[in-house]
Structure 1
Amino acid sequence: MTETPNPNIIDADTLTGEMRPIRRVVIALGSNLGERFANLQGGVDALADTPNVWVTGVSPVYETTPVDCPPDSQTFFNAVVLADTTLSAHRLLDRALAIEDAFDRLRSDVKNAPRTLDVDLIVVGDRRSDKEELRLPHPQAHERAFVLQPWLDLEPDAEFLDRGPVAELLAKVGTDGLTPRPDLVLEIE
């Protein structure tokens, strides 16, 4: 994935005059605790309310079987958000974590514990990071149908940075465990 809509478009910071490129981002949302749909809509709203983030698309909602979660985990609602931003990847990560906290996400040592809201950065333009706090592109997303299918719904020709076409990745992974929920439609304010 390259910087979009046009890598030559620059946004000037109104206070400092600093020029910042606009980057296309893919953000995955998930919830399997509480009011799952309301949590997803709240995540979309919070992203749309973020300065220097412009939400351009929201995928259909899928109900999905938990992957690599503790036994007895409830099913998830998942969706993908496309946005353009001038924020750095680290600032965007800070915002994602703040949104999770606003929805009372409890963090634990249990891997993939149930959560009210998960906000994952999948790709941020063509940025790469292998730091503990920020891995870009997301290291498992290319193996997760609950990310790939909603992303493909929004961008049929999407390319996953360093991995290839999203359609080909989804064909390898398959769509077992995904149930479309056309009765649930996320809105962009």
Structure 2
Amino acid sequence: MKAKRQSPARPRRPAARKETADLGEWAIVALGSNLGDSRQNVLRAMACLRQFSRHPLRKSSLWQTEPVDCPPGSPAFVNAVVAFAPRRGATPEALLTRLRALERAFGRRPKKVMNEPRPLDLDLIAFGRETRASQRLTLPHPRAHLRRFVLQPLSEIAPDLVLPGQAKPVWQLLTELPLDAAPGPEALPVRITQPGGRRAPAAFATCARRAGRTPKSAIRR
């Protein structure tokens, strides 16, 4: 069933969370899907990301957004953001490798057309205060502060977070983002689940199998 659209409105600052400060050392990953059962793809991917974290994930709502810079006729996206504490010894490069493997496990193939529909898209937005500027990886994500489909869900879980290289917290970046930064009012996100809602349906063992690993080897303390 298609999500009911809400009237466009400028976002307000979300209620502050006491835990926001500690997110400065966490990894932040943006999820998106606009191919197949996008809602389930994102929920299952959230469950799979748990294996990369020392603690339970901080998860946003799911948001339906119109495609930006995609081929004409592309379906709407389902987007979300998660934050988690990387396992000890993890590096941004190693995490990126695992995110790409997870995309492939969900059926993503090498792209033939720029920004074509895909079952799963995982963008590493930040990794603590780490910065990178290589051909393979740029941290923080160079366009995260300009993307409503990143800032909207991120503002739910870390409104006061200041991304590396930015002077303003996430909630303020979102508030100041021009409405015409997206292609018209229809592109404003529509929330389709509430944060902290029901658990994603994919079992941890299923995630491990999808990534070509056994559950036992996937769990590392």
Give the TM-score taking structure 1 as reference length: 0.82
Matching residue within 151, 154, 157 for 2:154: 151
The alignment status of 1:32 with 2:34, answered yes or no, reads yes
Quote how far apart the aligned CAs of 1:54 are.
Answer: 3.4
**Aligned twin of 1:180:** 191
Corresponding residue SS for 1:60: coil
Quote how far apart the aligned CAs of 1:173 are.
Answer: 2.0
More helix by share: 2
Question: Are the counterparts in 2 of residues 41 and 186 from structure 1 also a CA contact under 8 Å?
Answer: no
The alignment status of 1:134 with 2:143, answered yes or no, reads no
Give the TM-score taking structure 2 as reference length: 0.70
Distance in 2, matches of 1:183 and 1:88, equals 31
Deviations 1:150-177 (A, max 9, x none): 0101122121221221112112325642
Corresponding residue SS for 1:99: helix
Distance in 2, matches of 1:169 and 1:147, equals 11
Deviations 1:12-53 (A, max 9, x none): xxxxxxxxxxx3111000000001111101211111123x55
Quote how far apart the aligned CAs of 1:62 are.
Answer: 0.3
Distance in 1, matches of 2:39 and 2:192, equals 10
Cα root mean square deviation, aligned:
2.2
Name the count of aligned residue pairs. Answer: 170
More strand by share: 1
Distance in 2, matches of 1:106 and 1:117, equals 10
Deviations 1:109-147 (A, max 9, x none): 422111100011000011111111111100111111111
Relative distance call for 1:102 and 1:167 in structure 2 (3 A) is same
Amino acid at match of 1:133: R
Corresponding residue SS for 1:54: coil
Q: Which gives a bigger RCO, structure 1 or 2 (Cα 8 Å, sep 6+)?
A: 2
Question: Are the counterparts in 1 of residues 60 and 194 from structure 2 also a CA contact under 8 Å?
Answer: no
Question: Are the counterparts in 1 of residues 23 and 158 from structure 2 also a CA contact under 8 Å?
Answer: no
Distance in 1, matches of 2:104 and 2:56, equals 20
Amino acid at match of 1:60: S
Task: Structure 1 unaligned segments of length 5 or more: list them.
Answer: 8-22
Q: Percent identity of the aligned residues?
A: 35
Relative distance call for 1:140 and 1:58 in structure 2 (3 A) is same
